[in-house]
Homo-oligomer: A and B are copies of this chain.
Amino acid sequence: MPTISDVAKLTGLSKTTISRVINNHQYVSEEKRALVLKAMQELGYTPNPAARRLRGQSTTTIGVIVPRIVNPFFSYLVNTIETAAYEKGYQVIISQSNEDAEKELAFLQLLKTKQVDGIIMTAIENEWSVIEPFLAYGPIMLCNEYITNANVPIVRLNQQKGAYIGVKHLIDRGHHKIAYCTGGLFAEDGKDKDRNHGFQKALKEADIAVNTKWIFLNQYSIEDGKKVMNQIMAMDERPTAIFTGSDEIAAGMMIEAKKHGLKIPEDMAIIGFDDQPIAEMLEPQLTTIRQPVEKMGELAVAILVDMLDDTSLKVQEHELPIELVIRKTT
């Protein structure tokens, strides 16, 4: 690997001048600049990022934490983040937190040790008080999941509205017995809390009391959906509609409901969340709440890069629109 000294030697100039050319500093004559550029080309020279980082320069790398990449919502989010980052000249380091606070913490260390310039968190496992100290080492921003009084940029959706319009839609279709199956066990803040509020608000407006037997929390996967549906099938009094926290839960429920001979939506209406590709592939096609994943990812990268360029930037918060996509399961 050629180094900056090799370029200096070949051109007969000093390392300083080479560095100036690399970093587009002023006060380099056109003549020398061309000479240096040519020599760099010739040698196939690339600046060593480790050396640049050591001097406190940027790593042009951003870190992204997702709960699990196999969840399509997050793989789509990572897709847009990676693409947007690449366009801005950044690499992406990925970690799956897997609901593991330890692993999340290990990842935040990358910021401390300057392996990443900044971090996008799409889920939060640790207490904010644990995460906050890392802000001293670089920007952290929240995308998707959020915490109300964290003084960091947030790109999020109006989750309360999402749940509200979904449940409202079920009520409009004449349902009174509505089950609720979503993630977040004791959600005291953020996405799940807001969804809970949206759910409650819609019911309250229609004067429907919450039946706690039909509340299923901490549910995430297809398997979870199947299990819950089986629990519901075993009940004396069943709900007639289910609002779920993801298309995957909904899909699991549909598979199992069909096994039990239930007709959807006649015997059981189901509504998903996310509008993943599977929503269109299920039969019947799934009514769901669409989240603008692409916009979220792009915006998150744009904000993070802005913060990296200008550290004095003030904290922004963006709330993106969310909408109901009515298909055939309601």
* Interface residues of A, Cβ cutoff 8 Å to B: 1, 46-51, 53-54, 59, 61, 68-70, 72, 75-76, 78-79, 82-83, 86, 91-96, 98, 103, 106, 109-110, 112-115, 137, 222, 251, 254-255, 258, 277-278, 280-283
Classify the secondary structure of A's interface with B: helix
Take A95-B86, A95-B91, A137-B1 as given contacts and tell me if A114 and B70 are in contact as well, using a CB distance cutoff of 8 Å.
no
Q: Are A61 and B93 closer than 8 Å at their CB atoms?
A: yes
Nearest CB in chain B: distance from A257 CB, A = 12
Q: Are A68 and B72 closer than 8 Å at their CB atoms?
A: no
Nearest residue, chain B, Cβ from A106 = B86
Q: A76 CA to B70 CA in the complex, in Å?
A: 6
A50: contacting residue among B47, B93, B106, B114, CB under 8 A = B114
Q: Are A103 and B75 closer than 8 Å at their CB atoms?
A: no
Q: A54 CA to B3 CA in the complex, in Å?
A: 12
Nearest CB in chain B: distance from A271 CB, A = 17
Q: A112 CA to B61 CA in the complex, in Å?
A: 16
Q: Are B93 and A92 closer than 8 Å at their CB atoms?
A: yes
Please name 29 pairs of A and B residues whose Cβ atoms are closer than 8 Å in the assembled complex, sorted by A.
Answer: A46-B112, A48-B54, A49-B113, A49-B115, A50-B51, A50-B59, A50-B113, A50-B114, A51-B54, A53-B53, A69-B69, A69-B78, A69-B82, A70-B72, A70-B75, A70-B76, A75-B75, A78-B94, A79-B96, A82-B96, A83-B98, A91-B93, A93-B94, A94-B94, A222-B277, A222-B281, A255-B280, A258-B283, A278-B278
